[in-house]
Amino acid sequence: MRLPGNMQQMMKQAQQMQERLQQEIAQIRVEASAGGGMVTVKLDGQKNCVGVTIDPEVAGDVEMLQDMVMAAFNEATKKVDEEAKEKMGGLLGGLGLPPGLF
């Protein structure tokens, strides 16, 4: 099925924007801490953990350490979601789509 010229151009533009968005999301790096900075987790834009820092003081209390790692990781995933949403909003805003569509 062949689309009218204007529609083809819009589809091509949408595909380019999607590729650009994926590249920008891949560049996201976030960091979140728990326990007053005793545990820090770093994530990339795909929510892959790229680093964990643990203060040696907390290493002896396994339950507290587990809670802090989980809290830091959860906060970092929220930050990735927020940054990705911002980037998506900025790119999609140029399309003139109705608000709230994405």
Percent of the chain with pLDDT over 90: 50
Q: What's the predicted TM-score (pTM) here?
A: 0.71
Residue 85 pLDDT greater than 80, yes or no: yes
Q: Exposure string (b/e) for 65-76, b if CB count within 10 Å is 16 or more?
A: beebbebbbebb
Comparing 92 with 79, the larger pLDDT belongs to: 79
Q: Tens of pLDDT along 20-65?
A: 888 888 899 999 999 999 999 999 999 999 999 999 998 889 999 9
Please state, rounded to an integer, the average pLDDT across all residues of the chain: 86
In this prediction, residues 81-96 reach a mean pLDDT of 76
Q: What pLDDT is stored for residue 40 in this prediction?
A: 97
In this predicted structure, the answer to whether residue 8 has a pLDDT above a threshold of 90 is no
Number of residues that this document lists for the chain:
102
**Burial class of residue 43 (count of CB atoms within 10 Å of its CB; 0-12, 13-18, 19+):** buried
